[in-house]
Amino acid sequence: MIAIPLAAMAQNFTRSPYSAFGIGEQHFGGTVKQFGMGQLSLTLNNPFEINSTNPASYGSLLQTVIEAGAEYSNGTLTNATSSSPVESYSFSYFRIAFPLSYKLKWGFGFGLDPYSNMGYDVSSKAIFPDYTATIKQKGMGGLTRFYGGTGISLFKGFSAGIQASYIFGTLENTQTLIIPSEFKRFNIENQNRIIAGDFQFQYSFQYQHNLKDTNYRVIIAGSIMQQSNLSAQREFFVKSMGIGGLIGVVDTIDYRNNISGNIILPASYALGIGLNKKDKWFVGAEANYTQWSDYRIFGSSDSLFNSFGINAGGSWVPNYLDFKNYFSRVEYRAGIRYNNGSLKIDGENIGNLGLSVGLGLPLGKSRNKLNIGFEYLMRGTTKVGLIQEEYFRFTLGVSVSDKWFTRYKYD
């Protein structure tokens, strides 16, 4: 049985025991606005906002846009016998995008955000013929993404985009065997560190069709995230510790470093459709599929399975031109998402379900906004000795747009 730590807090976005698998818990690469719409993102297209999840949208930008966000999470980990509070907070993203050519409808964007994170600290019992020991497993670190992409209109209503991401970081795992001191045996600690970095490429499109003689617009969008191969170096350190304690190294059992290998990140595919009434409301739905069975880390698959997810959400603005009533200009958002997950433990899928709401609060009379998102997330199960996670997540972001890099003409 897995024991839950009594309390946990870290400057990362996960404390999930399930982040022990693969590259850890993946971070949503969208904005606070998209977070509040059930992470609906692929079909969104706004000339004053950045949609880095679909670089084809960069071609629609009319101004330079800067966006940043952060996240706070508070929840509970529960197994069949106990529960424990967990808390985490993290930087979410920083990004800039701007038009390169209004005539060609061509734009460019770049940014930095977390890609994945490990943050687990769990323990279990190991029964030997003459004693019972404790196995503690701890993971930390994660991967970060720096990206740049471009999108351009190829013909009326159809835009295509490409984005290159450099993914880099360190994954650290420590496993410790703790033997009761009365048995006079040395404890054993196994440390495994992987440093990785390389490129990943995404290709996407958006097709917009204005319904005749109306303010309604249909948007169809798709994305392919190409399988990537991250170059990696591994350090492996096994050591014996003091009897009854973990202070001081008694002996080095095994040490190897600069072991070359790779991390294969699988391909993923997404498709979505949305309906928009200009400056009024938007509703949409998306589906995504990731081939996690292709994942490898130094040749190991980590027993991951292909995952499938769906997202649905929308937004509504009562009247963005009503400057006498502030709440008429607020954008109200809501959404739902479900993913069956890439993990199956003892026959149980570790899926997740999220319900979210959000607000886009105008700053003055401009297009600038303070964005707020709230989500209730449930993941896992208490069956067969597993852990169920429940979180309340709060996200905060700002979006600022203005005309930069413009050459003015004077008579």
Q: What is the pLDDT of residues 37-93, one digit of tens each?
A: 999 999 999 999 999 999 999 999 999 999 999 999 999 999 888 888 988 888 999
Strand partners, 348: 345
Using CA atoms, how far apart are residues 126 and 170, in angstroms rounded to an integer? 29
> Other CB atoms closer than 10 Å to residue 40's CB: what's the count?
30
Mean pLDDT of the chain: 90
The residue-averaged pLDDT of 153-160 equals 95
pLDDT of residue 183: 80
More confident residue, 2 or 229: 229
pLDDT of residue 5: 38
pLDDT of residue 170: 95
- pLDDT category of residue 10 using cuts at 50, 70 and 90: very low
pLDDT of residue 245: 61
State pTM to two decimals.
0.88
- pLDDT category of residue 320 using cuts at 50, 70 and 90: confident
Q: Cα dist. 178→1, 102, 218, 243, 248 in Å? A: 16, 65, 60, 9, 14
Residue 1 above 50 pLDDT? no
pLDDT of residue 17: 87
- pLDDT category of residue 134 using cuts at 50, 70 and 90: confident
Residue 407 above 60 pLDDT? no
> Other CB atoms closer than 10 Å to residue 248's CB: what's the count?
9
The residue-averaged pLDDT of 182-196 equals 88
pLDDT in tens, 255-281: 888 899 999 999 999 999 999 998 899
Closest among 333, 338, 220, 336 to 282, alpha carbons compared = 333
pLDDT of residue 2: 40
Using CA atoms, how far apart are residues 225 and 216, in angstroms rounded to an integer? 30
In the numeric block, the tokens 């977390």 are attached to: 114
- pLDDT category of residue 406 using cuts at 50, 70 and 90: low
The residue-averaged pLDDT of 376-396 equals 93
- pLDDT category of residue 8 using cuts at 50, 70 and 90: very low
pLDDT of residue 239: 85
Helices then strands (H, E): number in the chain?
Answer: 1, 22
More confident residue, 338 or 403: 338
